[in-house]
Amino acid sequence: MTTDPSSEPNIKTRTSCPLCHKDLIIQWQSDNIPFFGEVMYITTRCDCGFRFADTMILTQKEPVHYEITINCMEDLNARFIRSTSGTVRIPELGIDVEPGMASESYVTNIEGILDRIKDVVITATNWVKDDETKYARGLEVQNVLDDAMNGKGKLTVVVEDPLGNSAIISDSAISRPLTREEAGKLKTGMIVFDVDSSELTVDVSEKSQPIGN
């Protein structure tokens, strides 16, 4: 059950608007969300029209790998939880969706994540209409996704999260901890301080690569 946000601490900080440079008040509101744990909502708006809203996940767990192979229609109903630090993969199609600074967290099901990816593939396919090979590959990927969503084909859906806040909830799902080396290769979509290297790094990619040569 979600905690009533009104019972959580509400912090205000002052800064300047990046557009008009007037004083700007930033609201920081903590909350507790099932599957994601402690989060912080950050919102602000200026009279000049500038607006900003973000959600920071404050909970950090062990790095984790989840995967499910779609074998039947029931598998499409498996709950899929992707935090802002989750990387989504469909190995058979060579699709990787990595987090970036504008990453969104969401809770959906396997059918929902396939539908999201298909929308990206359709857009990417339209971009390469002048390239016969890539265009044909894009249409092929769309057909494979359609078959999987209609229970006519098998696909593996993977989510990996170095902060442990993503998951696939199903009896058919397989999970395992990520090794330190595996977790170190993943994007987090946020500012991360590595205590071992004492370096501040920022992950900024939010890419999908559904169409190959």
- Out of 1.25.40, 3.30.160, 2.60.40, 2.20.25, select the CATH number for domain 5-57: 2.20.25
| Residue spans per domain, the chain | 5-57, 64-202
Sequential pLDDT tens for the chain (213 residues):
344 444 455 789 988 898 999 999 999 988 887 766 787 888 889 999 998 877 777 777 899 999 999 999 999 999 999 888 899 999 999 999 888 766 777 889 999 999 999 999 999 999 999 999 999 999 999 999 999 999 898 999 999 999 888 999 999 999 999 999 998 898 876 444 343 433 433 333 444 344 444
The structure tokens listed for 192 are 């991360």
pTM: 0.71
In contact, 178 and 160? CB cutoff 8 Å? yes
Report H helices in the chain. 110-127, 132-149, 180-184
In contact, 205 and 191? CB cutoff 8 Å? no
| Domain at 64-202: CATH code | 2.60.120.1040
Q: What is the DSSP string of 35-81?
A: TTEEEEEEEEE-TTS-EEEEEEE------EEEEEE--SGGGGGSEEE
Q: Which amino acid is at 189?
A: G
